[in-house]
Amino acid sequence: MTMPTQEKQDLLMALWEEYAACELCALAHPEGRDRRHMVFGSGNPDAKVVIIDEAPDEHEDASGKIFSGNDGALLDSYLAGVHSSRAEVFLLKAVGCRATRAEDDGYLRHRPAAKEEVQACQARLHRVIEIIDPYVLLVLGNTAIKALLKVRPSVTSMARNPTVPTYDAYTQGQCTLVKRTAYVSFPMQYLLRPENAAMEHGSDRHHAFRTWLKAFQTADMYHHIYTGATLPTRGE
């Protein structure tokens, strides 16, 4: 039985309140600064596709809003390319707080989240996905892979696979692990690098777009099978 939308919203709000001041790992008080915001995520509680990126950047840490910097503009362009928008999806970070390391010059440089930091945030991530109960997860980057998939190849080899394969993602349900359909692609911050700006056929940005398109088309197919809804035009 599908959970009513209002019940989902209430559960998500309660979960946000539970984790807003989370101190389950060292990212709550990292060396050299205080965490400003735990970035919970946002979007449609009835989303058919949940997009999980790695961890907040400086803009997201400052605002508390997911995809609020240049990565957000790129995300919006990918969503527009598959005839979607933020109103249709739910956006999450595998780790809710910005991971940095202090350099000798005082500069706080971004770093990948450590294993224990990913594990500390896993219950929150899984619970949000269980509440929304999407058809498809779009998993962006190694940190999100570690939080949701049992396979451990590099994101590069998975995201560049020309066949755009599906993977099994697992979230903790009430009694057992729940297997979900997932697609894997590059994180937004990687695609923002100047050397990855090209969108020609065979580029990493093009590989990413093909994966996004396949993820949405698969979710549309499931929705059609289960509800009889008309298949939307996604296009390429």
pLDDT digits (tens, 9 = 90+) for 86-132: 999 999 999 999 988 777 666 678 888 999 999 999 999 999 999 99
Please tell me the predicted confidence (pLDDT) of residue 38.
Answer: 93
Please tell me the predicted confidence (pLDDT) of residue 76.
Answer: 97
CA 68, CA 28: separation in Å to the nearest integer? 20
Starting at the edge strand that comes first in sequence, how are the strands of the sheet with 136-140 ordered?
Answer: 42-43, 90-93, 49-53, 136-140, 177-185, 167-172
pLDDT digits (tens, 9 = 90+) for 164-202: 999 999 999 888 999 999 999 999 999 999 999 888 999
pTM for the whole thing?
0.95
Q: Which of helix, strand or coil describes residue 201? A: coil
CA 147, CA 150: separation in Å to the nearest integer? 9
Higher-confidence residue of 145 and 109: namely: 145
Q: Which two tokens stand for residue 106?
A: 């005082």
Largest separation between any pair of C-alpha atoms in the chain: 59
Q: Which domains does the chain have, with CATH numbers?
A: 22-227 (3.40.470.10)
